[in-house]
């Protein structure tokens, strides 16, 4: 991957949160980890067949760093997400090649 195309993004780990009444739901940690990756919109015939109309909400991320990524973790992609520290995309797929090909889906 070209170093020029990498930009800094924030990674937030997925955690299990329990409320006062004992209900459990998934959320994201307060701690943000900075990673450098290349993110672009999803495209192509195969992804169009897989995601259909959801394709507009999917991004492809190329990552070759040392920090372990897991499905469900959040990525702060937009400047709005970085300022509020709430991820706006979540990891839905990780494919290992010489680098990691990660698919992100917008959190609605």
**Is the pLDDT score of 34 beyond 70?**
yes
Report CA-CA distances (Å) from 33 to 53, 61, 79, 103, 106.
31, 16, 15, 18, 19
What would the pLDDT profile of 44-91 be if each residue is shown by its tens digit?
898 888 888 888 899 999 999 999 999 999 999 887 777 777 899 999
Mean pLDDT within 1-10: 80
What pLDDT is recorded for position 103?
96
Whether 11 and 69 have beta carbons less than 8 Å apart is answered as: yes
Q: If you average pLDDT over every residue of the chain, what do you get?
A: 89
- Mind giving me the DSSP string for 48-61? HHHHGGGGGGEEEE
Kindly state the percentage of the chain with pLDDT values over 70.
95
Residues 6+ apart with CB under 8 A from 86: 28, 74, 76
At 2, the pLDDT band (50, 70, 90 cuts) reads low
Contact 25, 17 (CB under 8 A): yes
Taking only Cα atoms into account, the Rg of the chain, rounded to an integer number of angstroms, comes to: 15
In whole angstroms, how far apart are CA 32 and each of 2, 12, 96? 24, 5, 23
- What is the per-residue pLDDT for 22? 86
Show the domains of the chain with their CATH numbers.
3-106 (2.40.10.270)
Using alpha carbons, select from 33, 18, 37, 23 the residue that is nearest to residue 94.
37
Confidence of residue 3 (pLDDT cuts 50, 70, 90): low
């Amino acid at each position: 991957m070209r170093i020029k195309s990498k930009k800094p993004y924030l990674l937030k780990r997925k955690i299990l949160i329990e409320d006062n009444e004992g209900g459990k739901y998934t959320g994201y940690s307060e701690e943000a980890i900075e990673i450098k990756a290349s993110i672009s919109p999803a495209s192509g015939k195969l992804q169009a067949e897989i995601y259909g109309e959801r394709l507009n909400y999917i991004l492809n991320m190329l990552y070759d760093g040392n920090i372990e990524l897991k499905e469900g973790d959040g990525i702060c992609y937009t400047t709005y997400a970085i300022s509020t520290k709430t991820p706006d995309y979540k990891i839905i797929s990780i494919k290992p090649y010489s680098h990691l090909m990660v698919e992100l889906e917008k959190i609605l």
